[in-house]
Structure 1
Amino acid sequence: MSQLSRTLENSFNRFSDRRLVTLKSDFVYDRYTYGTIKNISLRLVTFFEKNNIKKGDKVTICSYNSPQYIYTFLASIFSGVILVPIDYGSSEDLVKKFMEKTESKFLITSKYKIINLKIKKIFIEDMDEVLASHKKGNIDRTIKDEDLFQILFTSGTTGDPKGVKISHENILSNIRSVLRVLKIKKHYRLLSLIPLSHIFEQVAGFFIIAASGAQTTQLKSRRPSEIIKIFQKEKINVIATVPAFLMLFKRKIENKAKENRKFKKLKKVLNFARKLPLPIRRRIFKDIHKVFGKKLEIMISGGAPLPRDAEIFWESTGIRIVQGYGLTETSPVLALGDIYDRRVGSVGKVVPGVRMKLNDDGEVLVRGKNITKGYYKNPEATEDLFENGWLKTGDVGKLDDNGFLFIKGRLKNMILKPSGLNVYPEDIEDILNKMELVKDSCVIGIDKGHDVIVTAVVIPNKKTDEKSIKKTIDETNKHLENHQKIQDFIIWKKKDFPRTLTFKVKRLVVEKEVENKTHEKSESKDEIIHILSTLSHLDAKDIKEDSLLFSDLGFDSLKVIELSTQIEELLRKEIDEYLINSKTTIKNLRSLVEKGVNPENKLKLDEKMFWPVFLPFRFLLMEFMYFISSFYFKSVKVKGKNNINKLKGQYIIIINHSSHLDFPTLAKHLPLRLKTRLATGAAADYFFRSKNFKQIFVSKFFTYLLGSFPLSRIKDGKSSSSIKQSFEFVGEIVDRGWSIGLSPEGTRSKTGKLNSFKNGIGTILKETKLPVIPIKLNGLHDILPPHSKYPLKRGHVEIIFGKPIKYPGNMSTTEITKSLEKTIRGM
């Protein structure tokens, strides 16, 4: 049995009842304990066996971060199956290439990812339900420390892909090294933002957390406003991320200060605060800490160099910055800062278990148990990776007298983006040099402060103009992954590039010559085009309505987050950034912005509605309302009450809606344990307005005394508030352990007959995974119809309780909606 497998087994047994991971998906919070994750991982072991996936076989996973990703890691470690994690944003061609290279037998992906390959696969959205029917398997005790755990690819689309072989021993060695420097406390809650296909996130966002009994929180959306909500709700203590995120939030704070004309004051206070003790710094910048939930203590930065000004900024606010350094090939951490002993600009000291030295060129060489044995089926690249048994990092470093490592630059040609993604110039040049107009090219990275611009320096093979070269660049980009795309180009006026004696291009010389020769770009008065031009570094006139954000403008997932931030700050619109993908055009983006919600006008869920102090008043009010209403009831006939009498847990209660008497009448006949923790949806445009005192009073009355929350509905072709916002409210309420009462018709029936259900109810049931109690009310429409303020006559009332229904996960939202409507019609 490998030491990694034994360590994780012991940790998951020890912390069995503690929460390990929370996923904030579209609007629901999925929470899993250590025990639950371990149990499902063992069921996945059985699933592998039933699908003839044995120890040493390869399984590819291409997904967004999720609990399913985590228990797939665990199942792989327990079974000896070798994982091939691939970035979720990768193209179908790249996924296919990596799977063929590794001879993967199975694919785990998302149903939202289009991968048309003839191979067995399962969607992560279905895994919990599929695995529930499997028995728990056994941990393979024959796995050895040197056995492979995963293969991680670091190269692009051309040439022979370099898949780094990571063993069980590599990972365990790095876990132990990191935890000897960085003490992770059990109460820590870490926010996971980097894809788990990145080894930095694997170690920081899962392995060291799991070994310490702490928690990790994942987000499907990475929009800054969503991240801020999670900081506040989950009380995040630690964030491990790439520099791009830290710079993004730094700019967001600075831009806010500029808006309020307080930027100079902010700078002065930051400079002054640097010299003060940490608690005083946190006190001075309490407003910033309030935004981040007041609990954020540590920011871990890795994957790329963190600019000095960003490090000083966050340290000055009272948040400790811990920089790390490493490579995928080193599993990954080689050096790490100590929160009590750091130097500005340093990536820390060499971690225990790693030996490091500098060669004559100043290149960092390392060896240790965390070092890969090489690249998968690539002996030539493996041989080039080592020098007398020492791994060559390709980075130039300096060790000071106290052992602090400072990275000075790179010997390799690789361009490192702030997002942590690697771009290999040779991959791009191989394609660009095949183009008709190109004699030779040199691809370099130009540092623009908050971004590194992939720039092609081109020598044309005949006299031509920039417009023709631009078309050549566009054609080249069609063959590149999103993070590789050429963002700018320069025409080299000389006959050839400066070269070494071995005829290699002197890239640093080229880079210095072209750094200041960037194009003068035309600007646009169109705000969206201006934002896109700024982020993509493209000329505004080259951005067309049918331009694709990813393939034409070079966007990646991080750029999309920056885009949504700019739109939120400059245009005052929140957009659903996860709707932006490789097929999104500028025209599509405009549509999303038009449908976006002004964050200042958004309704908020009033948390006081959950206060226990309101429950007795709510109960008495409901009793009083029913007492008054009952004068108009000739009789009340209840059917199927036995279907709900012994129910425990949470439910979605669904009723037909024909009168304002519906929920008060229903509440009287619900079990006490259900109605005291029940929130009912009420029309946002009718009951939750705030233009005058009367509307505010009605809103508060419905919130505190009736336990209602604002629910968007479609009216005159437009939603009265964001549909997504209503879903968010549902997610928050369910996460608190409450049940939900809804009417899927959206409004009261004018005829008393059941209206068609809105498809949103299918989405709610599918995402929350809660059982539904179908209830039909008859007779109330005749007593108090929609057009009347007061009851018109007395009548007979009938309440029919159906049996709870749990819809299977493989049903679509439309199928669920139609099935539920059919059920209530037939009652």
Structure 2
Amino acid sequence: MPRETLADLFADFGRARGDFLVHDNGFRSWTHSYAEVAAAAEAYAARLQAAGHRRGDALLFWSENRPEWIAAFWACALLGVVVVPLDHRSPLDLVERVGTKVSARGILLGDDVPARPDGQAGAIPAWRLADLEWGTHERPVLDRQPLPDDVLEVIFTSGATAEPKGVIITHRNVMANVVPVEREILKYRKWGRPFFPLRFLDLLPLSHMFGQALATFIPPMLPGMVVFVRGFNPAEIVEQVRRRRISVIALVPKVLEVMREHVLRRFPETAVPPPAGEHVARRWWRYRAVHRAFGLKCWCFVVGAAPLDPLLEAFWGGLGFLVVQGYGLTETAPIVSLNHPFAARRGSVGKAIAGVEVRISPDGEILVRGDNVTRGYFGQDAAEAGVFEDGWLRTGDIGEVDEEGRLFVRGRKKEMIVTPEGLNVFPEDVERVLDVIPGIRESAVVASPGAAERVHAVLVTAPGVDPEAVVREANERLADHQKIRGVAVWPGPSLPRTEGTGKLMRRAVREWLATGGAVTTPQQADGVAGILSRYAHGRPLSADTTLEELGLSSLERVELMVALEEQAQGPLDEGRFARARTLADLQCLAGQPADADTAAQWEMPSWSRSAPARTFRRLNLAAWVLPAVRLLARAEVTGLAHLASLRGPVVYAANHQSHLDTPLILAALPGRLRWRVAVAMAKEYFTPYFHPAGAAWWERLSRGPLYGLAALFFNAFPIPQREAGARRTLRYVGDLAADEHSLLVFPEGQRTDAGEIRPFKPGVGMIASRLRLPVVPVRLEGVDRVLHRTSWMIRPGPVKVRFGKPLVLAGDDYGALAGRIEQAVRELGERDAGQGGGQAKGSPSGGGA
């Protein structure tokens, strides 16, 4: 059928089969099929309609990549609501200014944005994307189908300190990209069926049009599956590619550069390029260890949003990977030209796609014309914008076209800086901030010398002014992508300017910088101390401050390690991190990348989830283990009504009295919930199993086998309290939840002496919050009298097991969340637990351990 609007594409989209979107937040993954996304989009469109949103209203999207973003985007496309996407790292003041400019009716928030705790993004009404409901089948009542010239979205490309400028994108613009790509895919789709679904790892931001195309429009044509992950840790990316059998990675050049450094550290042999002209099959075999690390199915990198360094392209091509790049702008929705995957030419950005015309102006500028080109900017007509000439879009880039029609981009005509992350920086935005700092007489901002464009400042200062201090002050006011990475002091009394008009001669400044200008790199603020201060609760920090003084739980240490890795853009040695005791130790560690072979020498008990183990466990628990427990501990069970509505995995958080706690709770659970529970246990208790060389023979003989029995009979898994491996455990917990296993945790971390309840550790808050799992409080009473922690003698008697209302928690104050869970457990002993069912009040997500 003809393709004129996204509604036509959505009609086929809803009929596609299989999984479409996977979201991995570093702790747990969620998978949604094409049908689920289509149903969620229609239901969300109906919800927006009921809330009063109409065709032409603007809705801001301020979020990291996630499936709810895609569902909400399609909802807006169907309803006619204009999408205004913003990078999740955008500062709040920019969001508010954009919202004011487009008269936004609301804003959709992700989890990784600096929104206010009350859920508001300034004065704009806000809704959390995490609250989007899956599994509903409500449809909107549409007044009409979208038309080709209806506005689909407005994308703002300017910096955070100037008046934002929004590019208007219509359905016609997007379909001018979609249709020719789909026609090309259809030529080869029958040959690709044995390899479907083609899996994409999309590391491009959805606020960028190229990221949208590769996550939203292209995969349904194949069909394909798209994976979103949190962060850009190269080791995590490689592991995700291997585990999820990714074929294509879509990313910006900066991430590809970080991955190259990771590969060079892990596989030193890759520093030696292959012989010139060597066949790709021989290159693949030569570097087969790299391909094994990527999982053998990965074969292609699709690079966009910023210029690609030819040396970076040559490195990955030399390893046997295909690197596909194209050329485009936000104004072209976004593709102008694209390398064909089976006929790519190194150094070229490919041929213009069907329906798009490209020509080179007499001064070398690339000009573009076609239905993909925007009609102008929000609140500004095409003539005022000054970028259109006789129907052609002036791109501001210098290029040339060879005899085969391949486009080569040679440089930038306009002054905008495009960072390696694909974000635009306008020099004037940064200069406005610099020029108001005391002691600055003039400033010029240019791209740094070299292949990767970074923001460099050239200053004319008053005597005695420290340029590094100026940069630090400016960076506090600038958005992340605008921050100044290098600074130089101009040798003369004023910057070079043209005669008469006094226009800054940036080219002269760049040439001076490239040919020996005195450049210094501003020192970064001590990020380790800044990150650790989150856990200090106002206490002063010094190099000798110990982690023990801060009282960090094992899972808080995981959170700390993740934050340090995000700052370092690379993995840390988890073993050495576990041995770190002071702030000074962490500062030393943060500057040293992890070795490839420093993984902890122990494995999670995945065998306990195998079919034979599950069968053995179910038969034995039902046949004799649980009946024996019921005989020894005569349980009065209350609160089962609270469990009646449970669907999917939860966290059972119980006070800890005895070794009998686990089988007693399993015996009390309804049958439908009992058989998919995994039990957390302290890894250090089973040290002789994991590290037999350091244990006495009698310890190996006693506690060693106990681990295997606990894993076999109770699906138990270890949580290290002090040593390395807590992060791996948290990842395993996420896998359990994704596999529909509930968790049983004892947040006190130790058994009681006389029935008292000790403070709950914050880890339970982290697990539930990060994994978005409801928490069921469980109160045990009298179990310590049946089997005390100091005795192996069982004294049969009565016990009580009380289940409370599920708590749905949210936030990153894990101590406070753990306190709420602890209070709920305590209250179960203070009132009749048999009343009511239902759901306790709270905001999404909580956790424990």
Q: Matches of 2:61 and 2:645 in 1, distance apart?
A: 42
**1:221: how far off?**
3.2
- Contact 2:749/2:761, CA 8 A, preserved across alignment: yes
Q: 2:449 aligns with which of 444, 447, 464?
A: 447
Aligned residues: 770
- Contact 2:575/2:599, CA 8 A, preserved across alignment: no
SS in 1 for 2:218: helix
SS in 1 for 2:366: strand
Q: Matches of 2:48 and 2:761 in 1, distance apart?
A: 39
Q: Does 1:393 align with 2:392?
A: no
Q: Matches of 1:445 and 1:452 in 2, distance apart?
A: 5
For 1:52, give the aligned amino acid. Answer: G
Which position in structure 2 is the counterpart of 1:376?
378
SS in 1 for 2:259: helix
Range with bigger deviation, 691-700 or 732-741: 691-700
**1:643: how far off?**
8.1
For 1:120, give the aligned amino acid. Answer: P
**1:329: how far off?**
0.6
**1:611: how far off?**
1.6
For 1:325, give the aligned amino acid. Answer: Y
SS in 1 for 2:22: strand
Q: Does 1:568 align with 2:572?
A: yes
Which position in structure 1 is the counterpart of 2:101?
101
**1:602: how far off?**
7.9
Which position in structure 2 is the counterpart of 1:551?
none
Q: Deviations over 1:204-241 (max 9, x none)?
A: 12221244432111123332333233223222111111
- Contact 1:107/1:119, CA 8 A, preserved across alignment: yes
Q: Deviations over 1:243-263 (max 9, x none)?
A: 111111111111234xxxxx4
Q: Does 1:750 align with 2:743?
A: no
Q: Matches of 1:179 and 1:440 in 2, distance apart?
A: 51
- Contact 1:3/1:169, CA 8 A, preserved across alignment: yes
**1:808: how far off?**
7.5
**1:192: how far off?**
1.9
SS in 2 for 1:447: coil
Which position in structure 1 is the counterpart of 2:56?
56
Which position in structure 1 is the counterpart of 2:82?
82
Q: 1:373 to 1:776 in 2, by over 3 A?
A: same
**1:684: how far off?**
1.8
Structure 1 gaps of 5+ residues are: 258-262, 533-543, 546-557, 576-585, 714-718
Q: Deviations over 1:316-365 (max 9, x none)?
A: 22221111110011111111111111111111111112111111111111
Q: Matches of 2:171 and 2:375 in 1, distance apart?
A: 12
Which position in structure 1 is the counterpart of 2:24?
24
**1:304: how far off?**
1.2
Q: Matches of 2:575 and 2:744 in 1, distance apart?
A: 36
- Contact 1:632/1:783, CA 8 A, preserved across alignment: no
Q: Matches of 1:821 and 1:500 in 2, distance apart?
A: 77
Range with bigger deviation, 136-145 or 773-782: 773-782
Q: 1:404 to 1:187 in 2, by over 3 A?
A: same
For 2:279, give the aligned amino acid. Answer: L
Q: Does 1:150 align with 2:153?
A: yes
Which position in structure 1 is the counterpart of 2:839?
none
**1:704: how far off?**
4.1
Which position in structure 2 is the counterpart of 1:188?
198
Superposed counterparts of 1:129-144, under 5 Å:
135-144=138-147
**1:267: how far off?**
3.6
- Contact 1:29/1:731, CA 8 A, preserved across alignment: yes
- Contact 1:57/1:82, CA 8 A, preserved across alignment: yes
Which position in structure 1 is the counterpart of 2:764?
761
- Contact 1:126/1:809, CA 8 A, preserved across alignment: no
Range with bigger deviation, 138-147 or 53-62: 138-147
Q: 1:622 to 1:593 in 2, by over 3 A?
A: farther
Q: Matches of 1:444 and 1:646 in 2, distance apart?
A: 60
Q: 1:167 to 1:808 in 2, by over 3 A?
A: same
Q: 2:247 aligns with which of 234, 237, 254?
A: 237
Which position in structure 1 is the counterpart of 2:539?
none
Tell me the C-alpha RMSD between the 2 structures.
4.1
Q: 1:251 to 1:373 in 2, by over 3 A?
A: same
Q: 2:430 aligns with which of 413, 417, 428?
A: 428
SS in 2 for 1:128: coil
Which position in structure 2 is the counterpart of 1:169?
172
For 1:117, give the aligned amino acid. Answer: G
Which position in structure 2 is the counterpart of 1:329?
331
**1:392: how far off?**
0.8
**1:615: how far off?**
2.8
For 2:165, give the aligned amino acid. Answer: K
Q: Does 1:119 align with 2:150?
A: no
Give the alignment's TM-score, normalised by structure 1: 0.83
Q: 1:786 aligns with which of 761, 764, 789?
A: 789
- Contact 1:777/1:797, CA 8 A, preserved across alignment: no
Which position in structure 2 is the counterpart of 1:256?
266
Q: Matches of 1:32 and 1:425 in 2, distance apart?
A: 42
Which position in structure 2 is the counterpart of 1:5?
6
**1:484: how far off?**
1.8
Which position in structure 1 is the counterpart of 2:697?
none
Q: Deviations over 1:456-510 (max 9, x none)?
A: 22345xx625x34444444444443222233222222245516488654443333
- Contact 1:573/1:593, CA 8 A, preserved across alignment: no
**1:379: how far off?**
3.5
**1:125: how far off?**
2.8
Q: Matches of 1:192 and 1:126 in 2, distance apart?
A: 23
Q: Matches of 1:678 and 1:697 in 2, distance apart?
A: 21
Q: Deviations over 1:757-788 (max 9, x none)?
A: 44443444455455566555554322321112
- Contact 2:46/2:138, CA 8 A, preserved across alignment: yes
SS in 2 for 1:14: coil
For 2:797, give the aligned amino acid. Answer: H
Q: Matches of 1:729 and 1:137 in 2, distance apart?
A: 40
- Contact 2:630/2:667, CA 8 A, preserved across alignment: no
Which position in structure 1 is the counterpart of 2:36?
36
**1:2: how far off?**
8.6
Q: Matches of 1:531 and 1:99 in 2, distance apart?
A: 35
For 1:53, give the aligned amino acid. Answer: H
Q: Matches of 2:630 and 2:99 in 1, distance apart?
A: 71
Q: 1:314 aligns with which of 311, 316, 337?
A: 316
SS in 2 for 1:609: helix
**1:697: how far off?**
4.6
Q: Matches of 2:631 and 2:415 in 1, distance apart?
A: 83
- Contact 2:61/2:83, CA 8 A, preserved across alignment: yes
Q: Matches of 1:627 and 1:82 in 2, distance apart?
A: 58
**1:23: how far off?**
1.2
Q: 1:66 to 1:316 in 2, by over 3 A?
A: same
**1:712: how far off?**
4.4
Q: 1:625 to 1:227 in 2, by over 3 A?
A: farther
Q: Deviations over 1:397-450 (max 9, x none)?
A: 12112222111101111111111111112223344445564444332112345x
Q: Matches of 2:228 and 2:445 in 1, distance apart?
A: 35
Same amino acid, percent of matched pairs: 27
**1:376: how far off?**
0.8
- Contact 2:678/2:743, CA 8 A, preserved across alignment: yes
Which position in structure 1 is the counterpart of 2:825?
821
Q: Deviations over 1:727-775 (max 9, x none)?
A: 3222111112323222333222221344444444344445545556655
Q: 1:28 to 1:3 in 2, by over 3 A?
A: same
